[in-house]
């Protein structure tokens, strides 16, 4: 059976990004692999095992602290039980809130947008 496995994001500070996703979103660090010969480290974070869930692969390339994100990538979307509370938790970790919690235009679904430490946009979608 085919399914999505993971989304890879290049990050400038691996531990800062792991902390953001684990402490801010309640994800778990599933595994970490350091590859000195390749000069990179991978950390996989998510809500469950890779065998049953889609996860995020955070890739740190030695010596690279910042990336140009470009204009093609849109955002990640994460369902949360309380958008307002999650927004405040993420704000306490230094997340930039780019859209405060509230209903989508012409709808009722509560959303917010934040940026992770590397500037990747994340949509929070309220799921009861």
Q: Which residues are catalytic?
A: 123
Q: Which helix or strand (DSSP H or E) is residue 75 part of?
A: none
Specify whether the CB–CB gap between 4 and 53 falls below 8 A: no
Instruction: Please write the tens of the pLDDT for every residue from 109-122.
Output: 999 999 999 999 99
Q: What is the pLDDT of residue 102?
A: 97
Specify whether the CB–CB gap between 44 and 57 falls below 8 A: yes
Instruction: Please write the tens of the pLDDT for every residue from 33-69.
Output: 999 999 999 999 999 999 999 999 999 999 999 999 8
């Amino acid at each position: 059976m085919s399914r999505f496995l993971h989304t890879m994001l290049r990050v400038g500070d691996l531990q800062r990004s792991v902390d953001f996703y684990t402490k801010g979103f309640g994800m778990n660090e599933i595994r970490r692999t350091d590859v000195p010969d390749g000069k990179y480290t991978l950390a996989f974070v998510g809500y469950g095992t890779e065998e049953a869930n889609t996860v995020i692969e955070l890739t740190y390339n030695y010596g690279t602290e910042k990336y140009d994100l470009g204009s093609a990538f849109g955002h990640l979307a994460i369902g949360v039980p309380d958008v307002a509370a999650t927004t405040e938790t993420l704000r306490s970790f230094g997340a930039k809130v780019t859209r405060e919690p509230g209903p989508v235009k012409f709808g009722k679904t509560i959303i917010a947008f934040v940026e992770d430490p590397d500037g990747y946009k994340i949509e929070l979608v309220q799921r009861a």
